[in-house]
Amino acid sequence: KAGVTQTPRYLIKTRGQQVTLSCSPISGHRSVSWYQQTPGQGLQFLFEYFSETQRNKGNFPGRFSGRQFSNSRSEMNVSTLELGDSALYLCASSPGTEGGYSGANVLTFGAGSRLTVL
């Protein structure tokens, strides 16, 4: 069973540019969530998608956006990049349920996309 796949693994951008990151969840998983990981802040929740709908959003500015496709693949976009956006962006998938609460649904993480903004 293939794991969670994130592309690209590494990328370097300059301030003001935009970036799109991709995540392919485990087959059959319908929930995809995104996290930003930095040494100082740890893992911070960005947003969660289920069946192409954003169900939850963390406390990030509107420059951070995402979407989910009908095959559950997800993308996140960061526009007008700032130096502080340099981080590891992790995608995680889980089976998910319609009602939201899904017991012991465990997050399975991808290896991440490491973004460096110069």
Cis status of the peptide bond prior to 95, with omega within 30 of 0: no
| Under rule CB under 8 A, residue 111 binds other proteins | yes
**Of the two residues 78 and 90, which places its CB atom closer to other proteins in the complex?**
90
**Which residues does residue 103 pair with via DSSP β-bridges, in sequence order?**
none
Our finding on whether 56 is near other proteins (CB under 8 A) is yes
Stretch that binds other proteins, among 20-28, 62-70, 72-80, 93-101 (CB under 8 A): 93-101
Burial of residue 41, with CB atoms counted within 10 A of its CB: 0-12 exposed, 13-18 middle, 19 or more buried: exposed
Contact residues toward other proteins (CB under 8 A) are 4, 31, 33, 35, 41-45, 48, 50, 55-56, 58, 90, 96, 100-101, 103-104, 106-112
